[in-house]
Amino acid sequence: MKTKHFRYHKIFESQPLKGWLFKLWNWWPPFLGAGIRIEQVDPQFRSLTVRLKLRFWNRNYVGTQFGGSMFAMTDPFMMVLLIQNLGSDYIVWDKAASIRYLKPGKTDVTARFEINDQILEQIRTELTHKEKMDWHTQIQVIDVQQQVIAEVDKTIYIRKKSKP
């Protein structure tokens, strides 16, 4: 007897998410426990803002933002925005990421994710000439004074699905 496994990414591929449904991720235990919240979602999934509140349970040893939580707040969102905008003809996966801490996070911090027509067109054009690509972007984590406190370099694997 074969068991069927639930594949969560099929939800993202099958139909566009609604903004309110996307915000249900705020209740996902890793985000909830870390204090990560999706604050804003563009109706066309072209931009998204995430906030990490500084709370007593997510401070590090010296009382500032825990670096792992800052890294986690940047994890899936660019990939999901690309999945939503490129559509079901493409396979999109987070491939790699690195973070540089520039200043201590002494306040709440935010990260903004944005894509536009130019980015989407560049990806589609590049994939007409080759089978797969690694797309690189940088996300900045900023504090309430609008100072960059960390930079996250992301590499996202993208390829066009094979026709059966």
> Would you mind telling me the total number of residues written for the chain in this entry?
164
Predicted pLDDT at 30: 84
Q: Which residue ranges form the domains of the chain, and what is each CATH number?
A: 9-160 (3.10.129.10)
Q: Which of 65, 64, 58, 62 is nearest to 30 (CA)?
A: 58
Q: What letters, b where the CB count within 10 A reaches 16 and e where it falls short, cover 135-149?
A: beeebbbbbeeeeeb
Per-residue pLDDT of the chain (164 residues; tens, 9 = 90+): 444 444 444 444 444 555 666 678 888 888 888 899 999 988 889 999 999 999 988 899 999 999 999 999 998 899 999 999 998 899 999 999 999 999 999 999 999 999 999 999 999 999 999 999 999 999 999 999 999 999 999 999 999 988 76
Provide the sign of the torsion angle of the four alpha carbons 63, 64, 69, 73, taken in this order: positive
User: Around Cβ 46, how many Cβ atoms within 10 Å?
Assistant: 17
